[in-house]
Amino acid sequence: MRDEQFAVQIALKPGCRRGVALAPAGFAPGLHQVVPLMYLRISLEYWHISSLEQGMSSKKRMKRPQRLQSAQSWLQTYDGEPKKIVKAYRKKYGVDWPTAFLELEMLGLEIDPSYKEQVLLTIQRQAEIKKQKKAEKEREIRGYDQDDHFAMIIGYTSGGAPYGVTWEEWNEPDQTSDDWE
């Protein structure tokens, strides 16, 4: 029997990049064995896409209306700490903090305003830090700082004033050696 003639189901564990496949054991009907994916010699066209979709997490396939409907029953069965419900909601449905706060409030859950404000401020600070690091990395690549007046800041005076090549000087056409004489 050739590999293409039997169905292969893929079972990926959450957070696992490698998976296992359930393949018939010795071609006996009804018996299956776990086989590492790297040992299967079967092309992607024969894998059942429906099996892949069944293993897909809810956070990758739900829009807001479906999340809200699912979350109603999830909230009733949630047995974690009440303080961590927003974090658990984010993890389960794959949404960001503001969306988690909004959707949980839409479901009637009361969230402490100070906690919400603290989390949102932390997110804002993290975004600013990330933006600063990105700008700093770009400056390192360019080699020189820039501002509105200087195209290339060579250094700073003892008083803190920058000096270097201005944008006007930068945009002037290059002078040839004849212009210098």
Spacing of C-alpha 58 from chain mean position? 16
Q: What percent of the chain has pLDDT over 90?
A: 38
Write out the DSSP string of 106-160.
HTT----HHHHHHHHHHHHHHHHHHHHHHHHHHHHHH-SB--SSEEEEEEE-TTS
Domain locations in the chain? 3-56, 62-111, 144-171
Using CA atoms of 8, 13, 18, 21 in order, give the dihedral in degrees to the nearest 10.
-20
CA 159 to chain centre: 44
Write out pLDDT tens, residues 22-56: 444 444 444 444 444 444 444 443 334 443 444 55
Quote the tokens at residue 20. Answer: 């296992």
pLDDT at 163 over 70: yes
Q: Average pLDDT of the chain?
A: 74
CA gyration radius for the chain?
A: 29
Amino acid type, 28? A
Crossing angle for the helix pair 85-93 and 97-106, to the nearest 10 degrees? 110
Q: What angle do CA 28, 29, 33 make, to 5 degrees?
A: 65
User: Could you tell me how far CA 74 lies from the centroid of its own chain?
Assistant: 24
Evaluate the CA torsion angle 69, 73, 75, 76 in order and state its sign: positive
Cα–Cα distance for residue pair 43/60, rounded to 1 Å: 25
Length of the chain in residues, anyone? 181
User: pLDDT tens for residues 62-99?
Assistant: 899 999 999 999 999 999 888 899 999 999 999 999 99
pTM score of the predicted model: 0.48
153 and 147 in contact (C-beta within 8 Å)?
yes
